Chains A and B, each alone.
Chain A
Amino acid sequence: MNSIFVICEVDEGKIADVSLELLTKGRTLATTLKCKLEALVLGHKLAGIDKEIFPYGADVVHIGDDERLAPYTTLPHAAVIKGLFTEEKPQIGLLGATTMGRDLGPRVSSALFSGLTADCTALEIGDHEEKKIQKVYKNLLYQIRPAFGGNIVATIINPDCRPQMATVREGVMKKEIFNPSHKGELKKLDINKYLQPEDLVVKVIERHMEKSRVNIKNSSIIVAGGYGVGSKENFDLLFNLAEVIGAEVGASRAAVDAGYASHDRQIGQTGVTVRPKLYIACGISGQIQHTAGMEESSMVIAINNDPMAPINKIADYVITGDVMEIIPKMIKYYKKNSK
């Protein structure tokens, strides 16, 4: 059976978390399908990087190590993947839903005429019956994602075209080592075979990368605000609470769109997925778009004016009332009761 390919991303010389998460998912899918899991890494100065990948269960690691592949630009990466996919004919191709994966995935899918589903929140294997032509498709990739602003969840399939491609955001899947001593086959790619001079026309002339200032993904307590918080100034109150109890501040998409909080704080399908031990949702109605990114929190406190807000259904504690009145009380009583 044809393989599953995970296109891995390199971040500061290491395999990016999102790629390791996809390898973990890919390992499960490959076991279900009884096929090989293969990883592809493109970049420069990649010596030894396969050692980071094998423990996640890859059977084959393809490495394309060439100075023309770093820093990332679309065309040379797309050319190598198009070429390799044409030779190897994978049944599934997975990428991180990063600025790189979301730039590269559609380019490759357009060239290969293979379907691509963006920002999946779940990937499963299942069958599909096309009643009109009385055909049953076995073992398709179910690409599950919220759609329509998160008001519905759609299962997307690619019955006829291969590879079935999907992107997944960082943090959506869990990364887990398959076997620390797992070994597979290392294949070095001959990049010259795939690259044409016209693939090298775009040049990166300047780059400023910062260490991420906001680290909501790894925070054990998150105070998140939604559109209901009302203003950027009111958000300051959330920061106060976060500082007092040792939390990070997150935001819903509506709050980010309204300019109350910066993009790197966005939680949800189009933002970060978090699994803190405590999630305090302030003025968040709880559209699936948002809850997809926080529903695995161990404990949820929902503070909302609307007693019928959807977020209340997944909350352990529901406080009905005004965020601006309740948060100062939380700060006050925390200070009073903690030593």
Chain B
Amino acid sequence: MGLRIIVLAKQVPDTRNVGKDAMKADGTVNRAALAAIFNPEDLNALEQALRLKDRYKGSTVTLLTMGPTRAADIIREGLFRGADGGYLLTDRAFAGSDTLATSYALSCAIRKIKDYDLIIAGRQAIDGDTAQVGPQVAEKLGLPQITYAEEILSAEKGKIKIKRRLERGVETVESPYPAVITVNGSAAACRPRSAKLLMKYKHARTMSERQTQSEDYIAQTGDRAYLHIAEWGVNDVETDSKWLGLTGSPTKVKTIENVVFQAKESKILSSSDSDIEGLIQELILNHTIGG
């Protein structure tokens, strides 16, 4: 029996490769200077979903992402790697969401998708590192959660077995499903794009993206349903606006500072033998090392 799997994914600025132009002079982040990527641990999550799909015939993997219209990129990326479809949740009403408002919006979209067995997400996103959205979605849907998952061992007879990676070891837990699982970066890396799927889905577009294409293009691809990426705005899902966006976010950013180090009086040395030997002698003399 096939599993219906929803993968929660986020498009994030690549904060791991921050160049010198990443911060503006006023101390704010220059988002334009950072590449937008598929959040790394969400790729680990996608791989776990695709492995279940390989193992349990008839399973489907559907991506769900919330973000600006360009976040459709990561749905295409998922399709190229083996997902079956995706939903982009995009609306100004969601802007300014903290983790709680984000999980509320996602949980409303998941309720609308309705038929699912597993919800799998990355443990955390590299732009915030909070690891909150997965558990918060689980709570909103009243589902069990299994965080820090390293491997989904099986999903049979309504029960999943999952290996979790903890600070000092591993544990295996068993849970009924539907359930929410968040996957750790130590899990298997995601498979690469498949050339065949790349050909099949390279023209997959959301409605907003299609509107910017030529009529010829639309005529050519219009009748192929698999090329339509579902795009939902706030009116397509049942929500209560008081839980959305800034209003629905209990946390506020009071201040943001660009970090300026208090420069210490430092001693500048070269890599020459005399400099290094001098330093080592000094460290031994003042009992910093070799004590």
Are B267 and A75 neighbours in the complex by a CB distance under 8 Å?
no
- CB within 8 A of B263: which of A159, A161, A313, A320? A313
Bound together, the chains give a CA A157 to CA B132 distance in angstroms of 17
Bound together, the chains give a CA A106 to CA B136 distance in angstroms of 6
Given contacts A110-B100, A152-B27, is CB(A103)–CB(B145) below 8 Å? yes
Chain B, interface size category, equals: 35 or more
Interface residues of B in 1-54 (CB under 8 A from A): 13, 15-16, 18, 22-23, 27, 29
Interface residue A136 (Cβ < 8 Å from any Cβ of B): no
Bound together, the chains give a CA A27 to CA B251 distance in angstroms of 24
Interface residue B207 (Cβ < 8 Å from any Cβ of A): no
Interface residues of B in 180-203 (CB under 8 A from A): 185-186
| Nearest CB on A from B130, distance (A) | 4
- CB within 8 A of B264: which of A128, A316, A330? A316
Closest Cβ neighbor of A114 among chain B residues: B250
User: Which of B69-77, B220-228, B277-285 forms part of the interface with chain A?
Assistant: B277-285
| Nearest CB on A from B125, distance (A) | 11
Closest Cβ neighbor of B175 among chain A residues: A202
Cβ of B283: which chain A residues have Cβ within 8 Å of it?
Answer: 278
Cβ of B147: which chain A residues have Cβ within 8 Å of it?
Answer: 74, 99, 102-103
Bound together, the chains give a CA A299 to CA B186 distance in angstroms of 33
Cβ of B290: which chain A residues have Cβ within 8 Å of it?
Answer: 245, 334, 338
Are B261 and A106 neighbours in the complex by a CB distance under 8 Å?
no
Cβ of A74: which chain B residues have Cβ within 8 Å of it?
Answer: 135, 144-145, 147
A-B contact count (CB 8 A): 254
Interface residue B216 (Cβ < 8 Å from any Cβ of A): no
Closest Cβ neighbor of A104 among chain B residues: B135
User: Which of A43-51, A85-93, A187-195, A321-329 forms part of the interface with chain B?
Assistant: A321-329
Cβ of B128: which chain A residues have Cβ within 8 Å of it?
Answer: 118, 147-148
Are B284 and A115 neighbours in the complex by a CB distance under 8 Å?
no
Interface residue A151 (Cβ < 8 Å from any Cβ of B): yes
Interface residue B219 (Cβ < 8 Å from any Cβ of A): no
Bound together, the chains give a CA A221 to CA B262 distance in angstroms of 23
Interface of B is mostly: mixed
Are A152 and B266 neighbours in the complex by a CB distance under 8 Å?
no
Cβ of B98: which chain A residues have Cβ within 8 Å of it?
Answer: 115
Bound together, the chains give a CA A147 to CA B267 distance in angstroms of 31
User: Which of B58-66, B84-92, B164-172 forms part of the interface with chain A?
Assistant: B164-172
Bound together, the chains give a CA A125 to CA B168 distance in angstroms of 34
Cβ of B249: which chain A residues have Cβ within 8 Å of it?
Answer: 115
Closest Cβ neighbor of B22 among chain A residues: A151
Are A107 and B145 neighbours in the complex by a CB distance under 8 Å?
yes
Interface residues of A in 24-74 (CB under 8 A from B): 71, 73-74
Are A151 and B23 neighbours in the complex by a CB distance under 8 Å?
yes
Given contacts A117-B251, A156-B254, is CB(A99)–CB(B166) below 8 Å? yes
Are A110 and B255 neighbours in the complex by a CB distance under 8 Å?
no
Chain B CB count within 10 A is highest, among A109, A110, A159, A338, for A110
Are A205 and B174 neighbours in the complex by a CB distance under 8 Å?
yes
Interface residue A206 (Cβ < 8 Å from any Cβ of B): yes
Are B289 and A245 neighbours in the complex by a CB distance under 8 Å?
yes
Are B264 and A118 neighbours in the complex by a CB distance under 8 Å?
no
Are B174 and A203 neighbours in the complex by a CB distance under 8 Å?
yes
Interface residue B148 (Cβ < 8 Å from any Cβ of A): yes
Interface residues of A (CB under 8 A from B): 71, 73-75, 78, 98-99, 102-107, 109-111, 113-119, 128, 142-143, 146-161, 201-212, 221, 245-246, 253-254, 257, 263-264, 269-270, 277-278, 286-288, 291, 299, 301-302, 310, 312-322, 325-326, 329-330, 333-334, 336-338
CB-based closest 5 A-B pairs: A149-B15, A321-B271, A115-B250, A115-B251, A110-B139
Interface residues of B (CB under 8 A from A): 13, 15-16, 18, 22-23, 27, 29, 98-100, 103, 126-140, 144-148, 161, 164-176, 185-186, 249-259, 261-264, 266-271, 273, 275-277, 279-281, 283-284, 288-290
Give 9 new A-B contacts, CB below 8 A, not counting A102-B131, A211-B168, A321-B271.
A99-B164, A103-B148, A107-B145, A109-B136, A118-B132, A151-B23, A153-B257, A204-B172, A316-B264
